[in-house]
Structure 1
Amino acid sequence: MGEIKENKMGVMPIKKLLVTMSLPIMISMLVQALYNVVDSVFVGQYSENAFAAVSLAFPVQMLIIAVAVGTGVGMNSLVSRRLGEKKFEDANAGVSTGIFLGMISWAAFVVFGLFFSRVFFEAFTAGMDGGAEIAEMGTQYISICSIFSFGVFIQIMCERIMQSTGVTIYNMVTQITGAAINIILDPILIFGLGPFPEMGAAGAAIATVVGQIVAMCLCLYFTNTKIKEVKIKLRGFRPQKRIVGEIYKVGVPSIIMQAITSVMIVGFNFILVGFSAAAVSVLGAYFKLQSFIFLPVLGLTNGLIPIVAYNYGARHKQRIIDVIRFATILAVIIMIIGMLVFQLFPDALLMMFNATEAMLKIGANALRIISLCFAFAGVGIVFSSVFQAVGNGMLSMIVSLCRQLVVILPVAYLLSLLGDVNDVWYAFPIAECVSLILSIIFYRYVYRKYLKDLNNPLAEVPGM
């Protein structure tokens, strides 16, 4: 292992490095955003109750992704830092531990799928028109997605392993392949085309897990054949408390950050339902549309995290500063483009979902108001990723909690008391402004503690 050449994250020009690492992830995330919309369209065409069932399942699916991605972020940060320090044994231990933790997490969702999925849906559908049918379809859907979620857990772990070593092109291949299979199978299994029976919501779930399992197989192949710095070694593996702790030090805050989005959506829906069902539909449409803007920025930061973590371990201060600056510029540009699209074409965006007149009337104002502070959000996302990269995911979690729960829901409720639904949407830009201020304060703290004296070989480096 000592003969391995210097990883490109320590030597390649920063701008080229960030683009080459981030672009494949950004493309794959755009494909995922497209899939999310197309998937919803197919289920909605099948029946209104099927769409309601899949919509109610959304928070559980978000939780599965949150646990997988959060654990992967913790592993990514640890492995990249250890590679930068040339501590290859710890890096290998981090990789194997990440896979192990992914399988443990999958087992927890198997238990949920087998024993608690029906209870979950009946809690929402009791007394609802068509509630029994919605509960039945929803139970089928989320049971399949949960029990067979090993595909998404292993896929995400392997993607993060590749990212931690600076290899991201294969992530694009696996995600696009999985999404394409999902999109192709959706109409076949939902509507029963050709020799396949009509399965409705259950068909959508099967299409989802088949796509995930195929992507997982590709990820395992690429990880084992294309990655030289680290290897997955499960034979004789024994989890080390120290490694598990370091992964979850970053991973748990990331899991919470990802999971609270679903809590925020539920809370916001409780506020909007007091105005109209159309207002609730507008919020749902917004979250589908904003994924086209936010996911590319998240793809950018997925490339940023291992670069910062590696150079933090290698004590390359200037490379860290330069890549943060460049990533911030790119993120702001992407978000400004998104803001302009939302400002200029809100009606066209909403018509993708066959918006009613009531939705258009509420939604055009909503999209314009919410998008006002997109650029602020871009800066905050980049800074939060830096916090994770140096091993302080707690700061990222605090920013996310303030942005998505502590500020936005109370402000939205207070604005709803004014009696005009248009006022409620201002909670989004207000929350973004607060989170930007927090992000700047925390970044100054991180710079002083982690980065200011990084080039000094005598200085103690936190988290090492």
Structure 2
Amino acid sequence: MDNQRALKEERIVSLLIKYSVPAILAMMVTSLYNTVDRAFIGSIKDVGALAISGLGVTMPLFTILGAFCVAIAIGGSTNISIKLGEGNKEEAEEILGSTVALELAVSIAILLVGIFFLDDILYIFGASNHTIKYAREYMSVIFAGAWFNLPGFALNSAIRAEGNPKLAAKMMIISCILNLILDPIFIFGFGMGIRGAAVGTVICQLVVCLWSTHYFTLGKSNLKLKLKNIKLDKNYLKLIVVIALTPFCMELAAGSIHLVTNRVLKIYGGDLAIGAMTAVTSISLMFLMPVFGLSQGMQTIIAYNHGAKQPERTKRTLLLAILAATIILTIGCILIKLFPKVFVGIFTKDSELMNLAINGININLITLPTIGISILGAVYFQSIGSAKKSMLLSLLRQVIILIPVILLVPKFYGLNGVWASQPIADIGAMVIVMIFLAKEFKKKESMVENI
């Protein structure tokens, strides 16, 4: 059975395993090398606590960069899956070319902004005179690699969209393993400190870009990346941007909340509180990364079957993905509660920073098992082309509910109020997403009955 026919006919459980497991492995390894980045940075002699706080300052900016990278890639790959579901290979190839062109254009714009305004942006995002040096050293290198990082990520997503998830995951896993090797070499061997961690990262991004480009030009791909298609075609850009808006807002929301959180943390806990939140966020990502992998696998299956007019298969895919995500996150929550010192100890040995972070994870991650519903529900609407609903639901947890809460609650409860804001937003977002999904399923059942 070929990949396209399998998406329409194979059992959903088998498809989810086939498409999600490679993506989950890739995401977990990605999480691992981000974790190792932060662990190595936190262990730099005499400056580790300030260095990881400097890295925390870069998180909003890093997330905004990721917003463009991920959103355009998802917009392109979702449309590719839909076109393949419709049996239109030529348009799928044209969308692939437009996706790469858009990523290139955006990456060049980001690079220019980074060259001229980096320090100003970092101060806005919470840098102090003590942490600006470390934040600048890291982000200047990351920006320098944007021009190949963004197109490379888009091509890797397209590999999964055309029905080759194992190769897409293999590329990510190998690049991450390479990063694990390069980090200590550049950080300690060459004495580059936090800049060395960034150098290791961009080298791995270049590997993914070159490998993915080779696959779509000289490799055994179903779709081909043709020079004539690498252009900003306004018709295809509209299709890409409509779907990209949701993940873009989702990623941008994460960057915005990092910005707001850093400023609030600076008021109630200072530079070390920002470092503690960096550790808390990194710990949560260890268990959220598999859910993001599930969302990638689920997205391809849902988008294809939506294009093939198979609504029952789209619904079943979502429900199975939510079940798997809830199990993963529940296990994660239990492990974090049982061994908080072990998890925080990965990132710092500084006693003050460790105490702040342990208190943070005990409050901040209590609703971890509920987050899968919010993430996957929004991705479901994105995958079927309901961009407005998807965008609204994506913004709930990280903006619409969270920002007012995080600005208000700490006024009464101080630093503990900052930690408690995310759980409050998680519960509110989960309830609203479930209401939207229930209405959508009821509408589709009604449409099927009337056929």
> TM-score normalized by structure 2?
0.90
**Structure 2 residue aligned with 1:302:** 296
Contact 2:375 2:394 in 1 (8 A): no
CA deviation map 1:345-392 (0-9, x unaligned)? 222222222354444544444323333322221111111111110112
Deviates more, 1:361-370 or 1:423-432: 361-370
Contact 1:317 1:455 in 2 (8 A): no
Contact 2:3 2:163 in 1 (8 A): no
The 1:335/1:51 distance shift into structure 2, 3 A limit, reads closer
Across the two proteins, how many residue pairs are aligned to each other?
Answer: 445
Could you tell me how far apart the structure 2 residues matched to 1:302 and 1:429 are? 25
CA deviation map 1:239-279 (0-9, x unaligned)? 43221111100102211210221221221233233332454
1:65, CA displacement in angstroms?
Answer: 1.6
Secondary structure in structure 2 of the residue aligned to 1:65: helix
Secondary structure in structure 1 of the residue aligned to 2:183: helix
The 1:375/1:28 distance shift into structure 2, 3 A limit, reads same
- Detail structure 1 runs of 4+ shifted over 6 Å in the superposition: none
1:417, CA displacement in angstroms?
Answer: 2.6
Could you tell me how far apart the structure 1 residues matched to 2:229 and 2:211 are? 24
Contact 1:250 1:388 in 2 (8 A): yes
Residues 1:201 and 2:194 are matched in the alignment: yes
Secondary structure in structure 1 of the residue aligned to 2:436: helix
Secondary structure in structure 1 of the residue aligned to 2:227: coil
Deviates more, 1:155-164 or 1:287-296: 155-164
Deviates more, 1:45-54 or 1:289-298: 45-54
Match of 2:209 among 216, 225, 235: 216
The 1:273/1:302 distance shift into structure 2, 3 A limit, reads same
The 1:376/1:58 distance shift into structure 2, 3 A limit, reads closer
Residues 1:240 and 2:238 are matched in the alignment: no
Contact 2:266 2:273 in 1 (8 A): yes
Contact 1:22 1:300 in 2 (8 A): yes
1:448, CA displacement in angstroms?
Answer: 5.2
Match of 2:371 among 368, 371, 377: 377
Contact 2:114 2:143 in 1 (8 A): yes
> TM-score normalized by structure 1?
0.88
The 1:447/1:94 distance shift into structure 2, 3 A limit, reads farther
Could you tell me how far apart the structure 1 residues matched to 2:285 and 2:3 are? 38
Residue identity in the other structure for 2:322: T
Match of 1:416 among 405, 410, 413: 410
Residue identity in the other structure for 1:281: G
Identity of paired residues, percent? 25
Looking at secondary structure, tell me which structure has more helix per residue. Answer: 2
**Structure 2 residue aligned with 1:39:** 37
Secondary structure in structure 2 of the residue aligned to 1:353: coil
Q: Return 5+ residue gaps in structure 1 as ranges.
A: 459-464
Residue identity in the other structure for 1:31: V
Two-structure CA RMSD over aligned residues (Å) = 2.5
CA deviation map 1:302-350 (0-9, x unaligned)? 0000100100111112221221121111111111111111222222222
Could you tell me how far apart the structure 1 residues matched to 2:197 and 2:279 are? 20
Contact 1:387 1:446 in 2 (8 A): no
CA deviation map 1:414-454 (0-9, x unaligned)? 32232453344332222111111221232234435667536
**Structure 2 residue aligned with 1:72:** 73
Contact 2:269 2:415 in 1 (8 A): no
- Map residues 138-157 of structure 1 onto 2, 5 A cutoff: 138-157=135-154
**Structure 2 residue aligned with 1:23:** 21
Contact 1:181 1:211 in 2 (8 A): yes
Q: Return 5+ residue gaps in structure 2 as ranges.
A: none
Could you tell me how far apart the structure 2 residues matched to 1:451 and 1:240 are? 37
